[in-house]
Chain A
Amino acid sequence: SQQGEEDPQALSIQEGENATMNCSYKTSINNLQWYRQNSGRGLVHLILIRSNEREKHSGRLRVTLDTSKKSSSLLITASRAADTASYFCATVKGAQKLVFGQGTRLTINP
């Protein structure tokens, strides 16, 4: 299975601190995507990073990809209460389906 696995399963930090979440996968991929899910809502796409890219930024988000280690990380800088959500990585190979991990539940304490 190429399923991504997020680590840690849960993370609780103070507002203003940085949050780092990791994702590991098992097979080669075309790209890896990160999504956020607020409680009771659907998933929202955050960033897509292709297999030939190593780092990508979007606002306070920074994603890295290490294909040799089959891992990715999502860094949220200067966290805010509104960042409280579950974060999922999803891997894609070819024109195949997205395969999601179980997610990291992030709590930002005011």
Chain B
Amino acid sequence: ETGVTQTPRHLVMGMTNKKSLKCEQHLGHNAMYWYKQSAKKPLELMFVYNFKEQTENNSVPSRFSPECPNSSHLFLHLHTLQPEDSALYLCASSQDRGTLSNQPQHFGDGTRLSIL
């Protein structure tokens, strides 16, 4: 148990569907992250939120829309995805963004997303 819970664990959707991934952390952290992990590629940072404010969008297509209603919850809204978006989507949290350099990140177990 890492303190970061992601749901659902698996998701299969068509390219025209709309779905959302959810992440919840129970660690009292203030920074949350979305990563994409594809086969044979390094982990890619997508979005960063610090104290509910988005501080980084790593050139992510607009078909991915993040939402952070509070420091404990993070969502990734998906719509009109492409087959190449099939991947493991990982959520992580850390104490806060400002002193990131000396903080580990705590990861959830991810959502395995398959686009048909």
Contacts and interface: CB of A to CB of B under 8 A. Distances in A.
Given A88-B43, A97-B56, A102-B40, 12 more contacts: A33-B104, A40-B109, A42-B6, A42-B108, A43-B43, A43-B90, A45-B104, A48-B104, A96-B100, A96-B101, A97-B58, A102-B41
Q: Give the interface size class of chain B.
A: 20 to 34
Contacts of A102: 40-42
B7 to A, nearest CB: 13
Interface of B: 2, 4, 6, 40-43, 45, 48, 56, 58, 90, 92, 97-102, 104-110
Contacts of A43: 43, 90, 92, 105, 107
Nearest to B45: A97
B43 A100 contact: yes
B100 A42 contact: no
A78 B108 CA distance: 28
Interface of A: 3, 30-31, 33, 35, 40-45, 48, 50, 88, 92-103
Contacts of A48: 102, 104
